[in-house]
Chains A and B, each alone.
Chain A
């Protein structure tokens, strides 16, 4: 992206100084383990809302999924519906309050710790911790790659230096300042993102001639849909794909349901509910969280689709044809670079950098606490100790950086959807059961976690063509990239694994309740 590099460097440096300052503030306020792990359980509701939102929304949600909206159209707005309806309303009101109450009562400090204590089972804690330690580095590496690519393209810093420097700056305040530093910096980053996206929406509609005229122009472009996409069921950029077509299945199952539902059981988001002192803070955070998410994904998806109008008017091509080397991730940056005033280009770049840093810092913290506290802490020790967790955080950061050097750059959006799908499949039913059952069944939770994670992995490795083709496991064992035919190959793993995980939970609960009457009778006696 070409821009006034001097101005951007100056603003970025000022931004980094403030970030380091906030990180130092977090470091000064971190005196006990609870401060490091759950921000002392006294975070302000606005900081909670902005931190939750900024963690939730990474650069890939804006640039990657915005690019997908440029390709597939405004149907992506259904993901925003789920982002707000499930990701904020249900997450805070239904899950958040119970999580906070139970987390406080049991003195839980991480998501795996919460699961372990709710079920009275070290297995649940270790298993949940292990899923995070194994699965989250892939997602983290994807965020790192996205951030480094962005820094390289804007500041012309070599990629390797960008990647290491980016990781090191975030690591500095995460390792030293814990969750307080993470949430303070998140809040600033969330504010920058909100400003950037608001201006982006306004300028886009102003430049293209107003809301109705621009939307009408987009709706009138349906005859420009490329033949390959039309054959897959695409009908235009202001209409949904044909029901049941391969593009409809990808849009609805992977993008809308996969990412939309997946957010409910994200460990790095769940832990935030335990950072406030009472439910009043959660009530107030809902007021900020809803509009924040609307202005993130709602704007990204709308502007993404509307870039087709801009590129058609100015260059006579659709957005996909205006993408650099056919990469949809470049559509939003190309549009902003070509159409927006220089000053806004800088503001938007800062917003993207903020989005990457806020997600990355939370992932670093969650991985570190999972490894240091949930997986390798000394048996019998119930207290969290800050030093081993800081060391574990450094270890997980190094692992993520190494992975980022190994993984292909094209994995960013896929890794995001994969991690969200894995979390929901493995954790969501057991998490919901723990929150809303007076006596949650451990057997049911174990069955749900194992069945959910296994089903997700099997479908990912052997059926869902985008992943199974890339992983090569199916080809190695069965000689085909996917073992089931279309349309199953484009049905997201979450859509299969989550119902199975839920069914396993119900079977386990029934077995526990009715299947072992002798033991029950003995227990009762």
Chain B
């Protein structure tokens, strides 16, 4: 994939990009959530 033949390398790249995408999606989906949120702690 993209010139890299060892799956243990390109899977790493896919996961790094996947987690980055997950951060973006999480941020967008929860953009307006948690305003003034104050739950009880321990």
Contact = CB atoms under 8 A, between A and B. Distances in A.
Interface string B2-42: 11111011001101110111111011101111111111111
Of the listed residues B3, B24, B32, B33, the one surrounded by the most CB atoms of chain A closer than 10 A to its CB is B3
A240 B5 CA distance: 11
A337 to B, nearest CB: 26
B42 A102 contact: yes
A288 interface: yes
Interface string A267-282: 0000000000111111
Contact of A280 (B20, B24, B26, B33): B33
A294 B21 CA distance: 10
Interface stretch (A350-358, A369-377, A419-427, A433-441): A433-441
Contact of A101 (B17, B21, B22, B41): B41
A84 B3 contact: no
Contacts, number: 140
B24 A239 contact: no
Interface in A283-314: 283-291, 293-294, 298
Given A89-B19, A214-B3, A215-B2, A240 B26 contact: no
A270 to B, nearest CB: 14
Contact of A440 (B35, B37, B42): B42
A75 interface: yes
A279 B16 contact: no
Contact of A89 (B8, B23, B41): B23
Most B CB contacts (10 A, CB to CB) among A80, A97, A434 go to A80
A495 interface: no
Contacts of A212: 2-3
Q: Which of A101, A281, A435 has the most CB of B within 10 A?
A: A101
Contacts of A238: 3-6, 9
Interface in A409-454: 434-435, 437-440
A278 B4 contact: no
A94 B6 CA distance: 32
Nearest to B25: A287
Nearest to A216: B3
Nearest to A436: B42
Interface in A313-330: none
Contact of A75 (B9, B20, B28, B33): B9
B22 to A, nearest CB: 6
Among A84, A218, A291, A438, max chain B CB count under 10 A is at A84
A174 B42 CA distance: 32
Contacts of B30: 280, 283-284, 286
A84 B20 contact: yes
Nearest to B24: A287
Contact of B19 (A81, A102, A215, A279): A81
Contact of A289 (B3, B23, B37): B23
Contact of B8 (A101, A240, A288): A240
Contacts of A84: 16, 19-20, 23
Contact of A298 (B2, B16, B21, B42): B16
A18 interface: no
15 contacts: A77-B12, A81-B12, A85-B15, A89-B19, A89-B23, A104-B41, A217-B3, A238-B4, A240-B9, A278-B37, A280-B30, A281-B34, A287-B26, A289-B23, A434-B42
